[in-house]
Amino acid sequence: MKGGDGFRTTGKKISVALLALVLMPFLLWDWETNPFVYTHESTQYRSNTPPGIAPACIHCDPNYSTESMKPAEMKTDGDKYQSLEKEEGKEPMENGDDFEAEIIDRSLVNGTASVDTKVCNYARGRWVADSRPPLYTAKCKYMERKWACRLSSRTDFSYEGYRWQSVDCQKPEFEASHFLERMKDKIVAFVGDSLSREQFESMMCMLTGGQESSDIEDVQFLYTGEIHHPGWGYRFRSTNTTILYSKSTRLCDLEPINATDPNTLNAMHLDRQPAFIRENIDHLNVLVMNTAQHWRKTLVSWDNEVMYVNGAPVQDRNLMNISNAMIFKVNNIVKWLDSKLASNPNLQVFFRTKSPTHFFKGDWNTGGRCDNTIPMTRGSEVFEDESSDKVVAAAVKGTRVKLLDITALSDLRDEAHNSYYGKKSPDCLHWCLPGVPDTWNELLSAQL
């Protein structure tokens, strides 16, 4: 009986084996035809909700912690992750947008953890009421009195009672000590027009609380190029952090056409970079630049400047158009800086987008005014993914130069300008301080 049972058992095994041999070709054919049929659901889930990534609204997840994101580490290693994606045959992540990296889990590659980078668009969000006082007062020692609306005849200061809240991710609170520690032994330079200077002065006020300190020294005399004004360069001794401003309204190199004539015109070289940037680029750690408002023929003429390309006056009809000249310049300097960034891993470059003007019923020279003092009469939210400044956004796309996008969110704040208070004519271009430029610096700090 035992022997018979053994034969029947063996027979069953042989039958199962024969059945497997018969079915195997069909199984293999099915796998080759659709190899992901059994894993599609889990793969789809991973691609839509990768482990470790912040939800679209981080406030919606009570268990989410920003501690796991470590944005500073991600910024440092960005090039490595881009190279990794190229090796895998994927399109590399574009670093030219105004975003912050978040960590996304991926499979192990060559035995080490690999990550993708998903971006955070801080420019998408809303203005919300905030009862906390500003980080400094209108008596800040590091800003010009003309920005201090509280020291003018203005009596309404509701423009100070709002802060920007990003909707895609949490914008970290600005902490002066934390910023200085991150910028230890570093140089942060603002280069551009008077709005760039206002952003520089805002940053100095935010870092000092508006108070003078023996820890701060004026170092403008140490830098070449157009740093020739007291108060345009400061160093914090305790962290060896330098914050400075260099004037360059159109980001062009300027050169006297006739050096022996005191009344000579100046060549404005569209294809050459400002002296300060050209001569100090290898020493800078953060460069924030802008240009926009001075690209008008009347202003170029008033500045006694003539547009040059390739060492000669511009002859090309298209380039003689001032708008086309600006586009040429923006792309030219972005391309030049991108080439410098390739060999300078310690440098971060931001192109700040255009600060909007709010001249109503006319322009700056035709009676335009900005009388409104009521916040958010034109809305309080920005949900567009793309920047309103198409010229700058297009120029930095696909480069290592980052976008500091402030245009749309600033456009909602027409009540926060200097206006006509204490002035002969309305100023609907510059901003009250404390005010909107403080938000620009909060976004800059978040992206560093």
* Predicted pLDDT of residue 368: 85
* Element holding 125 (H helix, E strand): strand 125-129
* Predicted pLDDT of residue 104: 28
Q: How far apart are CA 157 and CA 373, in angstroms?
A: 8
* Predicted pLDDT of residue 367: 77
* Predicted pLDDT of residue 27: 45
Residue 7 CB coordination number (10 Å): 10
* DSSP per position, 23-82: HHHHHHHHHHH-TTTTTHHHHHHHHHS-TTPPPSSGGG-TT--GGGT-HHHHHHTHHHHH
Q: Are 174 and 441 in contact (CB under 8 A)?
A: yes
Q: Which residue has the tokens 């009347």?
A: 298
Q: Which amino acid is at 311?
A: G
Reported pTM: 0.74
* Predicted pLDDT of residue 34: 40
* Predicted pLDDT of residue 119: 74
Residue 114, helix vs strand vs coil: strand
Task: Give just the sign of the alpha carbon dihedral 194, 198, 204, 210.
Answer: positive
How many Å from the N-terminal Cα to the C-terminal Cα in the chain? 82
- For the ranges 4-8, 10-14, 381-385, the one whose mean pLDDT is highest: 381-385
pLDDT in tens, 405-443: 999 999 999 999 998 776 778 899 999 999 999 999 999
Q: Which amino acid is at 307?
A: M
Predicted confidence (pLDDT) at residue 53 exceeds the cutoff of 50: no
Q: How far apart are CA 188 and CA 202, in angstroms?
A: 13
**Structure-token pair, residue 107:** 């499979």
**Structure-token pair, residue 99:** 């975003």
Q: What is the mean pLDDT of the chain?
A: 80
* Predicted pLDDT of residue 230: 66
Neighbouring residues of 155: CB distance < 8 A, sequence distance ≥ 6: none
**Structure-token pair, residue 207:** 């870092």
Residue 182 CB coordination number (10 Å): 14
Domain boundaries, the chain: 125-447
Q: What phi and psi, each to the nearest 5 degrees, are found at residue 265?
A: -75, 160
Number of continuous H segments (helices) and E segments (strands) in the chain: 13, 18
Q: How far apart are CA 273 and CA 254, in angstroms?
A: 9
Q: Are 391 and 327 in contact (CB under 8 A)?
A: yes
* Predicted pLDDT of residue 423: 72
Q: Kindly state the average pLDDT of the residues 353-362.
A: 92
Least confident of 154-158, 261-265, 327-331, 363-367: 363-367
* Predicted pLDDT of residue 17: 52
Instruction: Please report which confidence band the pLDDT of residue 24 belongs to, taking 50, 70 and 90 as the band edges.
Output: low
Q: Kindly state the average pLDDT of the residues 223-233.
A: 68
Q: Which residue has the tokens 């912040």?
A: 54
* Predicted pLDDT of residue 361: 83
* Of residues 36 and 231, more confidently modeled: 231
Q: Are 267 and 254 in contact (CB under 8 A)?
A: yes
- What is the CATH T-level fold of the domain 125-447, as seen in this structure? Rossmann fold (3.40.50)
